[in-house]
């Protein structure tokens, strides 16, 4: 009986992993300055039009959202499942000298956010 339970559980876990559409995105470490904590929220809670592609700034003490910026827009093909088309930010760094956030996404694109002007530029 135990062998049947273990075999059934193994087959169920194997089938579940095969049916998974994509791996969850890796967590991107937040960057804290005296002005803000910059983070990459991967998933929407109904307050954004897409998963991925956003940078948020929170007050370092109160944690209140200061602003949210769309770095890039994901264009979804309605014939495909939306979740397999999501594109997530994979890295985030801070250039203190020029007051820039630099980030890359899963498509190997690199973007720069000027924190003074809040302008986003794709550089690669």
User: Is there a domain that residue 20 lies in?
Assistant: no
pLDDT digits (tens, 9 = 90+) for 36-55: 999 999 998 888 889 999 99
Contact present, 56 and 41 (Cβ < 8 Å):
yes
Domain with 82, as residue range(s), is: 25-122
Residue 113 tokens, joined: 């956010």
pLDDT digits (tens, 9 = 90+) for 18-35: 455 678 889 999 999 999
Domain count, the chain: 1
pLDDT digits (tens, 9 = 90+) for 51-107: 999 999 999 999 999 999 999 999 999 999 988 999 999 999 999 999 999 999 999
CA distance linking residue 33 with residue 19, whole number of Å? 41
C-alpha distances in Å from residue 69, one per residue of 21, 40, 104, 114: 27, 10, 15, 11
User: Is there a domain that residue 7 lies in?
Assistant: no
User: Is there a domain that residue 9 lies in?
Assistant: no
C-alpha distances in Å from residue 60, one per residue of 7, 103, 112, 118: 50, 20, 22, 19
Specify the CATH number for the domain of residue 98: 2.40.10.480
């Amino acid at each position: 009986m135990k062998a049947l339970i273990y075999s059934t559980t193994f087959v169920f876990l194997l089938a579940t992993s095969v049916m998974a559409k994509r791996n969850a995105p890796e967590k991107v470490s937040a960057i804290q300055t005296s002005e803000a904590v910059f983070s990459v929220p991967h998933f929407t809670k109904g307050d954004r039009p897409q998963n991925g592609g956003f940078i948020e700034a929170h007050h370092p003490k109160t944690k209140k959202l200061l602003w949210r910026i769309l770095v890039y827009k994901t264009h979804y093909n309605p014939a495909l499942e939306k979740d397999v088309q999501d594109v997530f930010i994979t890295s985030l760094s801070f250039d203190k000298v020029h007051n820039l956030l630099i980030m890359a996404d899963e498509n190997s694109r690199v973007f720069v956010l000027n924190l003074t002007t809040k302008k986003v530029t794709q550089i690669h």
